[in-house]
Chains A and B, each alone.
Chain A
Amino acid sequence: MSHSLALMPLLVATWQTLYMVFIASVLGIVGGLVLGVVLYNTQTGGLWAHRAWHQVLGFITNVGRSVPFIILMIAILPFTRFVVGTSIGINAAIVPLVIAAIPYFARIVESALGEVPFGIREAALAMGATQWQIITKFLLPEALPALIRGSTLLIVGLIGYSAMAGAVGGGGLGELAINYGYERFDALVMLETVVILVLIVQWVQTYGDRLAKRPRLKRLAIVAIIFALLCVVSQAWPKGEQAHTIRVGIMGGAEENIMQVAKRVAWDRYHVHLQLITFDDYVLPNTALNNGNLDANIFQHVPYLDTQIKARHYKLVPIAKTFIYPLGFYSKKYTSLSALPEGAVVAIPNDPSNEGRALLLLQQSGLIKMKPGVGLLGTPASVILNPYHLHFVAMNAAQIPRALKDVAMGALTNDFVGPAGYTVNQALLKEGSHSPYANVIVVRAQDQHKPIFKALIAAMHSKPVLEKTQALFPDGAAIAAWY
């Protein structure tokens, strides 16, 4: 399932990565310098020795460094929204990058300053230097090679973190690699993005090492200013017709191809611009829509939407159905349900949309019984009757195709049926066309009667979209739900 990426998306993704990493690095270095200098000087024997402050700041710094980045990103969404006005997009991705960068670089600064020989500080004091002069004219210049090497470490680290920017629709090379390479099993794309990332990292490291030996900062400053101007221009560039734009949240993966067709149809027939924003999880697209950062999203079915609305009090409504993507159970070892041995291991998705759905399907077949009323929120813990002692393992939906060799059977959503090498007909058990799990177009309740959405609905129900979907999901893997 490999097809080479067109050059344009690759270039765009590269620019996005450079943009994010550049801004986050600059802010991280500046913030880290300040925090690092303070940390260094509040320690015993420092210029502003103050044990309590040193411990408090040290604790905060450690907390900043302890939180895994992906969790940090999600945890500070309200803060991100406060700072850049939205919780999604490339600028939103920069906020957690900076929050992660500052404590990391602060420790590097603290360590670099600590390596400056004590005698230098004595000489500075003996010369009658003020505290500010000691830092700026003695310590920082002497620590400069170590600071440059530390900056190189920071930048390379941020390149790695920026790969997770996809979780907030941030774009970049990492997101490309995950969406195409991992989710869509496109090895060539994975390779292309990895090669570019390796080249970028190599260049950063080489340039950083050379600069550490001979700190000529003037040229670097000029290049940095030019790049910063480019960033500002890229954000301020007028983005064509804004009036008839709908920001649509979708899943990264196969849906993107279908939505590209819908986008073309929407523009050609209705002059409406669909701005597609991709996500990697199932919670953020609704949060973003509810907060006004999106105008619509298309990725979930009604039972899931209902549980989310109930739990988080969203004011969202479905306005049209799109496709039913039947969930099914597939096996490399057995050809029918009755062949399953006692104690068989069954793989199910671990995401909130499909975990309960898979278990309910099994309940339908009579193999297990769930606690009444638990519905879509079911987990293996909600199974009350399990006569065959099936052992459930919940994992990332994209991992199940790769795990089929190791389990008796696994649940696959439509995205993964093809990559796993199956057609829907080969399922041991699958949902039928009367399934309540049709995907829907969802908007904010207050917007539901806006005329512009008619264009979106029409585009989604158009023949080109139908044909594309059935080409990507043949043999009943996608069923049109609007008839």
Chain B
Amino acid sequence: MITLNNINKTYTVAGTAYPALTGMSFTVEAGEIFGIIGKSGAGKSTLVRCLNGLEKITSGDVQIDGQSIVGLSDSALRQTRRSIGMIFQHFNLLSSRTAFDNIALPLELVGKNQQAIAARVNDLLRLVELEGLGGSYPHELSGGQKQRVAIARALATEPNVLLCDEATSALDPETTVSILNLLKKINQTLGITVVLITHEMDVVKQVCHRVAVLDQGRLAELGKVVDVFIRPQSDVAKRLTQASLHLELPDSIKSKLHAEKAGHPIVRLAFVGASAEVPVTTLLHDRFSVTCNILQADLQVIDGDSVGFMVCELQGTQEQSDAALAHLQAQGINVEVLAYVS
């Protein structure tokens, strides 16, 4: 649906070049919810704005639905933008218009008549669960309600792509969940491709199918969300997923850890799907005489699937532990040795 081909974006301020994006290439499939995550300054906002031309790329190609948007004339670009909806962190609703009129605005811009507008806006209000609030002004609505109005507005011209720039960053956790659920519902019922920018892994975890991890303007990692969580390759991804998983070890234990391969291994096990059926602790004890001392455990729901995590100390001889770990891996459990403790 959306293809980025080796795009570079450089800002030039007073003669100095600041590269914002370097050599970015990936594809967003039609109908998926695609997350883009990174720290502040990683280039996420710039990247999403390159997708609808709000920022112009310095080199490379961006294709939406098979058509390149680079070098389009102004009027052609405007036309393309009408099939791309966008929502923002601070909503960007017009304070001088009611919720109804805000949603109607994109339709007014293309010259639809009053009846057509009214019918469509009412449908949208129902879709975002704001029936009855059409006459309210933005200052009378809560943050979550404002974002719903913004979503309705973005969907008014029936786009096939929805860009979300940190759409939940200004909302409290509960409201964030409800908005993400709404986006999921829209993706499932209308089949709209969603590109979601965020700095919170929790958000990616909840709704995205695949995620691209950005670091300093480059693509650090790309994959299914589950895979990135269980087997993060890049440092950035590791740090981000770690922050989202509640697997932090207490200081009393951390102080005893060392990287040298001596003593008992501290391992992190991740279970997805069928592998979650394996009775790990009993298996380790009965077959390998290894006592599994559980230090931390967490159950996460990632993209609708349950994923279990366990951090434990394997108390046994080195041969026994090695054999046990090999067996677990064969069962489809993801094993990562974090450190050793004497």
A122 to B88, CA, bound (A): 9
A138 CB contacts on chain B under 8 angstroms: 94
Contact, CB under 8 Å: B96 / A123? no
Q: Is the CB of A127 within 8 A of B54?
A: no
> Does A128 lie within 8 Å of B78, measured CB to CB?
yes
Q: Is A119 an interface residue (CB 8 A)?
A: yes
Instruction: Give, as a whole number of angstroms, the nearest-CB distance from B78 to chain A.
Output: 4
Q: Which of A114-168 contact B (CB under 8 A)?
A: 117, 119-120, 122-123, 125-130, 133, 137-138, 141-142, 144
Distance, CA A133 to CA B78, complexed state (A): 12
Q: Contact between B90 and A119 (Cβ–Cβ < 8 Å)?
A: yes
Most buried by B among A117, A129, A133, A137: A129
CA A139 to CA B61, docked complex, whole Å? 32
Closest-CB distance, A21 to chain B (whole angstroms): 28
Q: How far is the CB of A126 from chain B (nearest CB, A)?
A: 4
Q: Are A127 and B105 in contact (CB under 8 A)?
A: yes
B13 to chain A, nearest CB (A): 11
A123: chain B residues at CB < 8 Å are 86, 88, 92
Nearest Cβ distance between residue A138 and chain B, in whole angstroms?
7
Q: How far is the CA of A119 from the CA of B86 in the complex (A)?
A: 12
Q: Chain B residues near A137 (CB, 8 Å)?
A: 105, 108-109
A125 to B94, Cβ gap below 8 A? no
Contact B81 A122 (CB under 8 A): no
Chain A residues whose CB sits within 8 angstroms of the CB of B163 once the complex forms:
126
Query: Closest A-chain residue to B78, C-beta based?
Result: A128
Interchain CA distance A119-B95 in the complex, whole Å: 12
Q: A130 to B111, alpha carbons, bound, how many Å?
A: 12
**Chain B residue at minimum C-beta to C-beta distance from A140:** B96
Q: CA–CA, A457 to B108, complex, Å?
A: 71
Within the complex, which residue of B54, B96, B105 is in contact with A122, where a contact is CB–CB below 8 Å? Answer: B54
Residue of B nearest to A125 (CB): B54
CB distance from B102 to the nearest CB of A (A): 10
> How far apart are the CA atoms of A141 and B137 in the complex, in Å?
14
Residue B96 contacts which of A119, A130, A144 (CB distance < 8 angstroms)?
A144
Please state if B54 and A128 are interface contacts (CB–CB under 8 Å).
Answer: no
- Assess A126 versus B86: contact at CB under 8 Å? Given A119-B92, A141-B97: yes
Q: Which of A123, A141, A144 has the most CB of B within 10 A?
A: A123
- What is the distance, in angstroms, from B115's C-beta to the closest C-beta of chain A? 20
Distance A84 CA – B219 CA, assembled complex (angstroms): 68
Contacts of B108 in A (CB 8 A): 137
- Interface positions of A from 230 to 255, Cβ below 8 Å from B: none
Taking CB atoms, residues of chain B closer than 8 Å to A122 are 54, 88, 92
Segment 100-125 of A: residues with Cβ below 8 Å from B: 117, 119-120, 122-123, 125
Q: Complex formed: what's the CA distance from A128 to B82 in Å?
A: 6
Q: Which residue from B77, B92, B106, B153 sits with its C-beta under 8 Å from A120?
A: B92
| B79, A117: Cβ atoms closer than 8 Å | no
CB distance from A141 to the nearest CB of B (A): 4
Contacts of A125 in B (CB 8 A): 54, 81
B92 in contact with A127 (CB, 8 Å): no
A141→B96 contact, CB < 8 A: yes
Measured in the bound complex, the distance between the Cα atoms of B54 and A129 in whole Å is 12
Residues of A within 8 A of B84 (CB): 126
**A residues in contact with B109, CB < 8 Å:** 127-130, 133, 137
Contact of B88 among A119, A129, A130, A133 (CB under 8 A): A119
Closest to B89 in A: A119
Nearest B residue (CB) for A129: B109
For the complex, what is the distance from the CA of A340 to the CA of B71, rounded to whole Å? 88
Contacts of A144 in B (CB 8 A): 96
A426 to B105, CA, bound (A): 81
> Closest residue to A215 on the B side, CB-wise?
B96
B292-307 with Cβ < 8 A to chain A: none
Chain B positions within 8 Å of A129 at CB level = 78, 109
Nearest CB in chain B: distance from A153 CB, A: 21
CA distance A139 to B33 in the complex (A): 33
> Does chain A have a CB within 8 A of B52?
yes
Chain A residues with CB under 8 Å of B90's CB are 117, 119
Q: Is there an interface contact between B52 and A120, defined as CB atoms closer than 8 Å?
A: no
Q: Nearest Cβ distance between residue A146 and chain B, in whole angstroms?
A: 11
- In the bound complex, how far is the Cα of B92 from the Cα of A117, in angstroms? 8
* Contact A126–B105 (Cβ < 8 Å): no
Question: In the bound complex, what is the Cα–Cα distance between A138 and B81 (angstroms)?
Answer: 17
CB distance from B85 to the nearest CB of A (A): 8
- A142 contacts which chain B residues (CB < 8 A)? 94-96
Residues of B within 8 A of A120 (CB): 92, 94
Residues of A within 8 A of B54 (CB): 122, 125-126
Cross-chain contact A127 with B96 (CB below 8 angstroms): no
Distance of A266 from chain B, by nearest CB (Å):
60
Instruction: List the A side residues contacting B95 at CB < 8 Å.
Output: 142
A128 cross-chain contacts in B, Cβ below 8 A: 77-82, 106, 109-110, 157
A119 / chain B contacts, CB cutoff of 8 Å: 88, 90, 92
Least CB separation from A121: chain B residue? B92
Question: What is the distance, in angstroms, from B193's C-beta to the closest C-beta of chain A?
Answer: 16
User: A142 to B105, alpha carbons, bound, how many Å?
Assistant: 14
Please encode chain B, from 40 to 80, with 1 for each CB lying within 8 Å of some chain A CB and 0 for all others: 00000000000010100000000000000000000001111
Contact of A126 (CB < 8 Å), options: B52, B94, B96: B52
A143: nearest chain-B partner, CB-CB: B96
A122 to chain B, nearest CB (A): 6
Contacts of A130 in B (CB 8 A): 78, 109
Closest to B75 in A: A130
Find the B residue at minimum CB distance from A134. Answer: B109
B183 CB to nearest chain A CB (Å): 17
State the CA gap A130–B79 with chains docked (Å).
10
A71→B88 CA distance, assembly (Å): 51
How long is the Cα–Cα vector from A120 to B95 in the complex, in angstroms?
10
State the Cβ distance, B140 to closest chain A Cβ, in Å: 14
| B85 surroundings in chain A (CB, below 8 A) | 126
Bound-state Cα–Cα, A119 to B150, Å:
12
Q: Contact between A127 and B82 (Cβ–Cβ < 8 Å)?
A: yes
A117, A128, A215 — which one has the most chain B CB atoms within 10 A of its CB? A128
Nearest neighbor of A123 in chain B, beta-carbon distance: B92
Cα–Cα, bound, A311→B163 (Å):
75
How far, in whole Å, are A53 and B51 apart by their CA atoms in the complex? 31
Identity of the chain B residue whose Cβ is nearest the Cβ of A133 in the assembled complex = B109
A215 contacts across to B, CB distance below 8 A:
96
* A127–B81 touching, CB < 8 Å: yes
A128 to B81, CA, bound (A): 5
Can you list 9 contacts pairing A with B, beta carbon distance less than 8 Å?
A117-B92, A122-B88, A123-B86, A127-B81, A127-B106, A128-B82, A129-B78, A137-B105, A215-B96
Given contacts A126-B85, A127-B157, 4 further A-B contacts (CB under 8 A): A127-B82, A127-B106, A130-B109, A137-B108
Give the 10 A-B CB pairs with smallest separation, nearest first.
Answer: A128-B81, A123-B92, A119-B92, A128-B78, A126-B86, A128-B82, A141-B96, A127-B106, A129-B109, A119-B90
